[in-house]
Structure 1
Amino acid sequence: MQSVADGSQSSEVPNVLGDFALHLSAQRGLSAHTVRAYTSDLEQLFLFAQGQGVESYAEMELSTLRGWLAEMASRQLSRSTVARRGAAARTFFEWAARTGRIEQDPAARLASPRQHKVLPTVLAVNSAATLMDAARDLAVEGGPADLRVWACVELIYATGARVGEIVDLDVRDVDLDQRSVRVLGKGDRERIVPFGVPAAAALRAWLERGRPALATWSTADALFVGQRGQRWGQRQVRDAVHRLSAIAGVDDVAPHDLRHSAATHLLQGGSDLRTVQEVLGHATLATTQRYTHVSAERLRSSYQLAHPRA
């Protein structure tokens, strides 16, 4: 097996990776970003195996896979990176064995390091309100760009949508009368998420007074458009939220932190896990359950500060 990078390899690797990528996207519904990450990880594995004298993925053994993970650990790559690459290998070889491309799955007993469980960054309710008020005040005094930021942060906080989902929204996805938005999430799973009066006010102001000044024929459908008339990008949204955090005088947050805050505040307000799961678009309830840990940590901290026998 020749190097993936030098372009002189046999057709085996690109062919099997192409088939695997199609399986991930078409049958498992994974995002394009995840598919690219998995195939890139496997290219790195095949290059490592070549250096160990393994000429084909069909010849791969558990010892080679373990050596690959150990080599990454010796380079002090993050646990999350090593864990993801281990998951890519397990997924690939399970698929290869199931589809008859290999006789046995060498990754069946491959263990990856456990990722550190890091609790998400969550704004306090009053800090979130301060951030939203700052966005509104800037929009009242400013122009289209400020109206766009106000509408965007209100919508993220109101719906808990991912920043990638927000920038992909079209005008037709928003129903101001019903105060709801149609979101296309991971795996092309569609969900309808309600939002409140503040987000509706911000969106109406943006659609009536901000967006017409920036939109062009090429972005006739996009809900959020940039200064040059193109669809607003994820990086621009992140930069805007960081700037707004500094102006508002709250902890520096990213758009995803607003998603975390929305989920946590829903639970603190009495919403059940299943509802939060549906709002966030999580495939499994286990993913949503981490927000119960956030609430528990806040409760524990408050208890330790306040109770005389804590």
Structure 2
Amino acid sequence: MNIGSDRPYSIWVILLVVTSLLAGGFSGMNASLIRSDSVELELESDNFASGKAAGDWVKSGISDSSSTNGGSPVTSTSYTDSNGNTYLTGFLIGDVKFGTNAISAGQDAFIAKIDSSGNWGMVETAAQFAGGGFSWGNDIIVDSTGNIFITGFYAGNISFGNHQMTSTSDSNGDDTTDIFVAKMSSSGSWLWAETAGGSYDSDSGNGIASDGNGGAYVVGAFNISGTWGMNGYGTNGYTDAFVAHISTTGTWDWVSTGGGPGSDGAEGVTVDSAGDLRVMGSFQGGSTQGAQFGSQSFNAI
């Protein structure tokens, strides 16, 4: 679920929980809206046991996310764990406050945690070094042991804790955007960070899913050529989609790519009960020249 705001001074968090579906309708469903300097609101749906009418707003709690001196938090997406904690990622600019946590950022990817009552917990960001750079978190996931993974894109010199990375440069020596994946422990310590991509812009990690064993599956897009560890790949045109697996220690295990002559990319990934991946994305092509994904060929409608 993509959420957030590109407006300065606030973060919006929308939580939607469906507990079960019965023959008579939804038995439990509520949406919580948490806004800067505002109350948390719960919206009742058809719930025969609650005694509340569908669509009634209920005051639940207070949450605060704000910024000063031109600061701005921008959220890309969120993930809610089994305990009702919600984790956000995106990027921060300037001075931003999450409850009592005051953050001063450049243009940095971040992870923020908010509990089911609307109380802000830990907030951690990427950093810059040696001339700086920027980073943006596109997707976030929490595995069954509480480890947190984020993926996105960056340019220049950035770090996640002690884990530094530098993006590739184009033929003119200018920084280009590359893919990053970072893993954080449940206590908020950066465990590792890894990069991939090539010397053209538009490389990006867009979606991430846990493999259930401490590693993750990452999907996104890369332009012309890209390298994941020791594995190099070229595209069929402009940008192509990729699906990759990264191990529990941050090593790229394998990569699969696909696409056509246009702008193609993968946007999201889930893992089913059999361990198979479901990847969502888009491709650009004509009725006679589409995209190739393994043995599967597609033409545009």
For normalisation by structure 1, the TM-score amounts to: 0.22
Higher helix share: 1
> Which has more radius of gyration?
1
Higher strand share: 2
Higher relative contact order (CA 8 A, sep 6+): 1
For normalisation by structure 2, the TM-score amounts to: 0.22
